[in-house]
């Protein structure tokens, strides 16, 4: 028996059909381009989430007990740190 999915929105197919498929208009693009406050907000949130994942998830005893979960949690933290660096590099140059 396959266990239930706890949050269907996290699966790639639904994610691609949802948020990522929505077009961004020129006004919204200007408000969130590198160098803007909107971009700074994304930079800040990527750092907050990276720190939160590291502190509350990567170090959580339940995650540490299951090696596969630890790998996934570490991957999530690494991805958020990489996103922070990528946004920061463009935002500072914007």
Quote the tokens at residue 30: 């200007």
- Residue 81: its pLDDT value, please? 97
Q: Would you state the pLDDT for residue 93?
A: 81
pLDDT of residue 48: 97
Domains of the chain: which residue ranges? 35-94
38 neighbors 31 (Cβ within 8 angstroms): yes
Sequence-distant (6+) residues with CB within 8 A of 91 are: 34, 35, 39, 40, 43
Specify the pLDDT at position 43: 96
Model pLDDT for residues 56-85, shown as the tens digit of each residue: 999 999 999 999 999 999 999 999 999 999
Residue 34 has phi, psi (to 5 degrees) of -50, 135
Residue 7's pLDDT is: 58
Q: Is the CB of residue 87 less than 8 Å from the CB of residue 42? A: yes
Neighbouring residues of 72: CB distance < 8 A, sequence distance ≥ 6: none
């Amino acid at each position: 028996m396959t266990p239930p999915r706890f949050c269907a929105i996290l699966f790639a197919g639904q994610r691609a059909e949802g948020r990522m498929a929505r077009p961004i208009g020129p006004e919204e693009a200007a408000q969130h381009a590198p160098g803007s406050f909107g971009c700074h907000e994304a930079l800040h949130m990527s750092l907050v989430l990276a720190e939160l994942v590291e502190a509350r998830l990567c170090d959580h005893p339940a995650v540490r007990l299951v090696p596969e979960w630890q790998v996934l949690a570490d991957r999530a933290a690494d991805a958020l740190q990489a996103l922070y660096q990528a946004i920061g590099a463009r935002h500072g140059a914007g």
